[in-house]
Amino acid sequence: MNEYLLRIKSFLERLDTDTLSALEDISKTKTYKKGEFLLRQDEVCRFNFNIEEGILRKFYLNDGKELTTEFFFTNDIAVSFGSYSLQKPSKEFIQALTDTVVSQTDFTAFQNAKINYPKLIELNLLFTEYYIMWLENRLFEFHAFDATHRYLLLIKDQPHIVQNIPLTYIASYLGVSLETLSRIRSKI
């Protein structure tokens, strides 16, 4: 998993300054307050959000309940993938869990930049592949493990989540009720 981040880092380091500054030109720094929404259901996700500081969460509203799909921390890129890449209404929300500073890049501007700076297509591919590895791993955990095991893995592999995020959201991220998560914690 981390190997992918290394690939991306190394790619960025080898990237020519023209491409890099083209990328900066189409990115804007913005701040969001705790609780604020960067994206709501049924809106089109026009930006990808590169987090400089803060924490975001992404979630579905399903049957009246919030289903947390992902948390984002500093240096993560937050985006509602399907909505962003097809520029169609989103099924997901993205919300700030703390005051947050992001550098956000407009979809159309990025598409255009890719024409003149084809290296950006490769960069796009690298991020996309990284997201696949993340998704495959998360899917495997749902497929193979029960809630206790998933929580233990969360503590081990992503302690920053357990340390910084309310149990309610962690429970919904793990796909169990808050009460069950509470009982899991009391047993370990």
Partner DNA sequence: CGACATATTGAGATCCATCAACCAATGTGG
Partner DNA sequence: CCACATTGGTTGATGGATCTCAATATGTCG
- Binding residue for DNA (CB under 7 A) from 98, 111, 148, 158? 148
- Confirm if 44 and 54 have CB atoms less than 8 A apart: no
From DNA, a second copy, none, interface partner of 15 (C-beta below 5 to 8 A by class)? none
* Nearer CB in complex with a second copy: 166/175: 175
- Rounded CA separation 23/117 (Å): 9
Return the number of other C-beta atoms located less than 10 Å from residue 32's C-beta.
Answer: 20
Two tokens, residue 38? 């960067």
Q: Name residues contacting a second copy, limited to 51-70 (CB under 8 A).
A: 60, 62-63, 67, 69
CB of 171 to a second copy, least distance (A): 12
- 112 near a second copy, rule: CB under 8 A: no
Site string for a second copy, 68-107 (x = CB under 8 A): -x-----------xx--xx-x-------------------
- Rounded CA separation 63/67 (Å): 10
CB of 148 to DNA, least distance (A): 5
- 164 near DNA, rule: CB under 7 A: no
CB of 143 to a second copy, least distance (A): 5
From DNA, a second copy, none, interface partner of 45 (C-beta below 5 to 8 A by class)? none
Sequence-distant contacts of 3-12: CB under 8 A, at least 24 apart? 4/126, 4/129, 4/130, 4/133, 5/130, 7/126, 8/123, 8/126, 8/127, 8/130, 11/122, 11/123, 11/126, 12/123
Site string for a second copy, 126-165 (x = CB under 8 A): --xx-xxx-xx-xxx-xxx---------------------
Residues that bind DNA (CB under 7 A): 146-148, 166-168, 175-186
